[in-house]
Amino acid sequence: MMSRIIRIAVLATWCSLVITGCTMRLDSDLQDQASIGFHAGSALLRDDATKGGVIKEGTRFSGNDNFFVFGSKTNLSETRSTVFGGDNVFLENDNWDYTPHRFWDYSSDHYDFLAISGPADATTITCDPSAAGALSAQVAYDSVAAQYDLMAACKRRLVANHSAAPVDLLFHHMLSAVSVVVINDSPTAVPITLNSYRFQNLCTQAIGSVTQDDDTPVFSGVWSQPAYNTNAVLGDAPACILAGGGTRSSGEVVDLMIPQEFGLSLTYIPRLVLDYSYRESEGAEPTRIVTGVRLEEIEAVNGSGYITKWLPGVRYLYEVHIRLGGGLRVSVSVAPWEEVHAETPGVTI
State the Cα torsion 158-160-162-164 to the nearest 10°: -10
**Would you tell me how many other CB atoms lie within 10 Å of the CB of residue 343?**
15
**pLDDT recorded at residue 102:** 96
**pLDDT recorded at residue 45:** 40
**pLDDT recorded at residue 60:** 57
In the 8-state DSSP scheme, what is residue 296?
Answer: G
Q: Which helix (H) or strand (E) holds 310?
A: strand 309-310
CB 125 within 8 A of CB 225: no
Three-class SS string for 81-144?
Answer: EEEEEEEEEEEECCEEECCCCCECCCCCCEEEEEEEECCCCHHHEECCCCCCCCCEEEEEEECC
pTM for the full model?
A: 0.82
Per 3-state DSSP, the chain is made up of helix, strand and coil in percentages (nearest 5) of 10, 45, 45
- The CA distance from 338 to 314, in Å, is 8
Amino acid at 282: E
**pLDDT recorded at residue 41:** 66
**pLDDT recorded at residue 143:** 97
Angle at 12 between CA 7 and CA 15, to 5 degrees: 125
In the 8-state DSSP scheme, what is residue 338?
Answer: -
**pLDDT recorded at residue 56:** 43
* CATH 1.10.1740.10 for the 176-336 domain, yes or no: no
Per-residue pLDDT for the chain (349 aa), expressed as one digit of tens each? 333 333 333 333 333 433 334 333 333 343 347 899 998 865 444 444 434 444 444 345 767 789 999 999 999 989 999 999 999 999 887 788 999 999 999 999 999 999 999 999 999 999 999 999 999 999 999 999 999 999 999 999 999 888 889 999 988 999 999 999 999 998 888 899 999 999 999 999 999 999 999 898 999 889 999 999 999 999 999 889 999 888 888 877 899 999 999 987 778 999 999 999 998 777 788 899 999 999 999 999 877 789 999 999 999 999 999 988 778 899 999 988 765 333 333 322 2
**pLDDT recorded at residue 167:** 93
**pLDDT recorded at residue 2:** 35
Angle at 313 between CA 168 and CA 123, to 5 degrees: 70
Q: Spell out where 186-303 has E strands.
A: 192-213, 216-219, 224-236, 240-242, 247-248, 255-257, 260-261, 271-278, 287-294, 299-300
Say how many CA atoms lie within 13 Å of 21 toward its Cβ.
6
- The CA distance from 277 to 166, in Å, is 57
**pLDDT recorded at residue 292:** 93
**pLDDT recorded at residue 48:** 40
